[in-house]
Structure 1
């Protein structure tokens, strides 16, 4: 099996927006589980444009997950959020036809390398509790629950989870 790679998406390029939209529409079960509806026609633009409080576009990175030249998923990361030494994964999603093939742990390793490059101490995520499959994935990958809180615009509560990044000696 090939190894997935990441390609940084440009929120101003219509072709990148279309490719992300196809990924989101290829995972209707996710949208139904966490938002209670199918992805809208503007879902990709919403993902690319959404910013957490106090953050700007220089700290937001949305990558396309590419496998054998095909867009099979996406991963969204925010540098230094909500703390300067945290890399936040806002979304890790695969088209349903690409789920269950072991891509999640491989892409998580790529995200870990990005977070380490940013000199962050941990990866943090928020899983919506109406998505038990995702919650179980993150638990299996060593993420521990920090807290649960209301999640605006989502079908359930957010379960905030974190996993430490490996410490690398600075030479």
Structure 2
């Protein structure tokens, strides 16, 4: 199982930016912790961070045929980016949206995520642990997809015999 983790704008500033909201942990430390968790689950993960919407769209599109699923923290773009929403929808890969802070306890404009509507689920407000929860959720979804595909293949084989 191979999963791409995409980080949106300003997440490279974790550890410095608004520690009361995001804590003191850096993005590098978050990635190291995700890597350890993924290894325990026998999942391969890759990481990408960009402050640029088009680069995020490109990375999502590059996931097609290369990854089984995506975990994305679109950050501020979750509230504004139709382009990222369309990219997620177009690759048709199971995707989990993550937010470190609870977007529903923040400013009103953060309460609506337009990208979440095309994701399998959204995890918000558990701090860096949100990524671990997303990894577990995505692993479950991918396991279910694999089981369905195997059952369909078996049924097709039985029909041919």
Pair in the same fold by TM > 0.5 = no
Structure whose CA Rg is larger: 2
TM, length-normalised to structure 2:
0.38
TM, length-normalised to structure 1:
0.37
Which structure shows the bigger proportion of residues in strand conformation?
Answer: 1
